[in-house]
Amino acid sequence: MTLVLYLVVLVNNWYFALKKRSSQIWTVITLAFLFFVMSGAGPFYSFHADYDNYYRNYYTVLDRGILDNNQVGYSFIMIIGNILGLPFEVFRILVIAGCLWLLYRYVIKRYQVNANYILSLYMMYAVIMDSEQFRNWVALTILLSGIRFLETPKLADRLKFVAVWIASITFHYSFVLYAPLLLVNGKKDNKWIKRLVILSLTISVIIILNGNQIPFQDYIIAVADTRVVEQYLTTQTNFGFLIPAITHGSSVVLAYWSRKIIYAKHFGMPVDVLPGEPGYQEAKMRKRELTIANVIFWINVSMLMVFPLYIVNVQFYRLMRSLLLITYVICAKASTYIIRRTPNILFNLMVAGTALVWLFLDLIHRIAPERLLIPFFLENIL
């Protein structure tokens, strides 16, 4: 039943996405459906799911204390839930509702794009992983809610993003690796990101030649003195890094292609018009769209700085997976600007195909389908 409903919602969203006109009714229906399907994922899976760990940690957090681990933000909201006497099921439902609202308000609605287009792509893969990796999704929601602060060069906004980034780290320590986003801005060119990406890719080659081990790896593990760091850095991937390389590469290509389309749409049109002059509002809108396109493009490029980690441990692929939703924003905007039928079909096939590549490489190739993909549909409470 879940699978049938899922396909109905997905197909209807794609209908409005390809028609280039967003349906507010189907957007609300889809968000409500995602709320129920994410809430129903986990409790009755026939294997040990992440849900079991979240359940156990929730009821033992008062004994362990807020400083028991590095995720003090997540521990804090769990403690609040316990103090209020909320069962874990209710606590989780409330958090899911809050995260969906934040993602809609600060990612989908804020950028004024076709909501059905973004939700279609989100449903094709990412939502399945987000329903399983609950804490990572909460941290992601916090981070994406602050992306808007990267659009301006104002110091106050940059500091706000730093605060949002730190807040996300308190929910999942791996979000410290989103530090490259601190260099992102709304300019067309970003020399610092280019230089650091080249350096990172050079280091990646060195790591491959060094037997997939980071130079001075033992020293780093000794200094960090934590089991988690040791576990991540001592895992051998062989050629498993090709999975995040392909998926990350596809996101960069989509962001580049989309930005190119948006720039072509506004080519030769004024963007720096003073208030009160004719065409000011139109120019302001164009400048904002170009700024957002640059921000999203450089977000994808800047994260190539973590490429060396892909070689050490394939688990780091989730860093780029978490940014898919913001990448879909620029794809949705670009799609509306392609007038000719054939290029429009090719572009949308490329975008949808990329989502399917993520689905195949992650939930079929890397993780056995019976571990997560099948239970999500067949063992969901919904």
Average pLDDT of every residue of the chain: 87
Residue 267: the pLDDT is 75
The per-residue pLDDT for range 35-73, each reduced to its tens digit, is 999 999 888 887 766 888 899 999 998 888 777 776 899
Nearest of 315, 322, 321, 332 to residue 357 by alpha carbon: 321
Say what the pTM is. Answer: 0.89
Residue 263: the pLDDT is 92
Contact status, residue 276 vs residue 286, Cβ threshold 8 Å: no
* Alpha carbon distance, N-terminus to C-terminus of the chain: 8
Amino acid of residue 302: S
Extract long-range pairs of 339-347: CB within 8 Å, 24+ residues apart.
347/257, 347/261
For the chain, give every domain's residue range.
Answer: 2-378
- How would you label 94-132 residue by residue, b for 16+ Cβ within 10 Å and e otherwise? ebbeebbeebbebbbeebebbbbbbbbbbbbbbbbbbbb
Which residue stretches of the chain have pLDDT < 50?
219, 223-224, 228-234, 237
Q: What is the 3-state secondary structure (H, E, C) of the chain?
A: CHHHHHHHHHHHHHHHHHCCCCCHHHHHHHHHHHHHHHHCCCCCCCCCCHHHHHHHHHHHHHHHCCCCCCCHHHHHHHHHHHHCCCCHHHHHHHHHHHHHHHHHHHHHHCCCCCHHHHHHHHHHCHHHHHHHCHHHHHHHHHHHHCHHHHHCCCHHHHHHHHHHHHHHHCCCHHHHHHHHHHHCCCCCCCHHHHHHHHHHHHHHHHHHHCCCCCCCHHHHHHHHCCHHHHHHHCCCCCCCCHHHHHHHHHHHHHHHHHHHHHHHHCCCCCCCCCCCCCCHHHHHHHHHHHHHHHHHHHHHHHHHHHHHHHHHCHHHHHHHHCCHHHHHHHHHHHHHCCCCHHHHHHHHHHHHHHHHHHHHHHHHHHCCHHHCHHHHHHCCCC
